[in-house]
Structure 1
Amino acid sequence: LMPAISKLKEGEQLFDIAIYQNTYYAVGARAAYGYREFKSEQDSYRNKVVALIFTPLGKEDEINQRIHAEAQVIHNKFNPNLFAQSGQDCQEYATFYVGDSWMGIEARFVREAIDEDQLRTLPESAPFIAGMHAYRGEVIPVIDLARMLGHPHYFTDYRQIIVIEDKAASLRFGLFVSALGEIPYLAPTQIQPMNTFFRGASHNPGIAIANIAQNSMLTLITAQSLWDKVLSVRSQSAEQVYA
């Protein structure tokens, strides 16, 4: 468990993280002063006793995924040069990290980022529907895009919901993200439609790929493309259930 335990002197203590039966535990250890508290100093007989306290932290695979996700976010930190592009044709894009990649949507479609404190799950809903969240007097669905795209479901310490709204299409919903990025300006010359790269059905809601400076790629979505994929995947799931 912890090799240092055998070296503990009377009254000393230590702390460590351990894995036992596929579960992470916070382990505290303290060496006692003797087998019985009432033994006198003249009694030379001693049994070394160490008290252990195990506090479960979570399943091993889930925590490992979380550690990996945090490492990926840090490794793939998205910090484009905000002033690399400018001009009348450029658009601002809000960027966020989902699954294992950075995505972007026109900044005008993003209302704000909110915490998940008021998220309520829905029984028998599609796996990628994280639940419903109260927002400005309404209730909006929250989409777990990472799960919809088939990525292992994991959490990071920095997980928020961004509220996306397209008034013209009467759409308003939340989207789970693992990190928020910068808001770069993108020119039309940087954007290539997705169908020039891929053809056929896909769960990916991306409509285009943006080439950012320093060889960074950004998958671009719209509120409508994302919602259309949600409806499509939900319909396919329902067909499989009743097939």
Structure 2
Amino acid sequence: MAMAEKEGRTCVPGEVIARVPRDGGPAGTTVRLGSGTSQNKCGQVTLAIRTTKAGTLKQQGKREVKRFWVETRHQRYVPSMDDLVVGIVMECHGETYSVDVGGPQAALLPILGFEGATRRNRPMLSLGDVVYARVSLADRDIDPELLCTEKISAKPKGLGPLKAGYVLKVQTGCSRELLSGEHGDQGVLQLLGDHLDYECCLGVNGYVWVKGSTAAETLMVKNAIENYQSISFGARGEQEETRKRVRRMVGDLVRRRGGDEG
């Protein structure tokens, strides 16, 4: 696979970012196309991956699986295969649940789309319940489908219904940034983990589920993520300044929490 552009650069619609052999090539690399990308024929033996909107080119994965997408400040999420999403149950039908994932259409979650689920023994979801799921089918002409199992092992690996907690909406770029762990042990979630015992599920659709040991801690994690979103992310050379601002923000929240408890 030949890369034409470097990850992290600004791109415009129509740019070719990679060329992929139609037969997959000898290395056996799987290419996943995310939001803002599409593939077109390019000669007899290759496919061209092009951008369909303006934004920042992102790439995840180095060997077996490579995923490309274009990050923008748009709020609308477009489902792609194997995306991890947080969804809210909107309707309950006979064989499926209708789940809001923030996209153009509601996604369908089969009632048997859970590990070991049978018609007699399965999670019973109600209106407003929250699930952490994987996009198992994404096509422009039909509604997306979800599963609460991992693709290869068919195990949940953290997927499934989420109890209690709080769901907040952030920009898709913010949720992907948090999910990638780009800032390592200096990321906002890692710094919060040094002071709080909490759970967090990040969806690339911009929905984030958080749950602290108390309601106050849940609110603190929510505020930290919202504050993190307001921080301007610049070029890679400015990452250290971003980390400093995140550390200051988390420190202020922790001190404020200590003052409230006192």
Q: TM-score range by the shorter chain?
A: under 0.3
Structure of larger gyration radius: 1
TM-score (norm 1): 0.27
TM-score (norm 2): 0.26
Using CA pairs under 8 Å that are at least 6 residues apart, name the structure with larger relative contact order, 1 or 2: 1
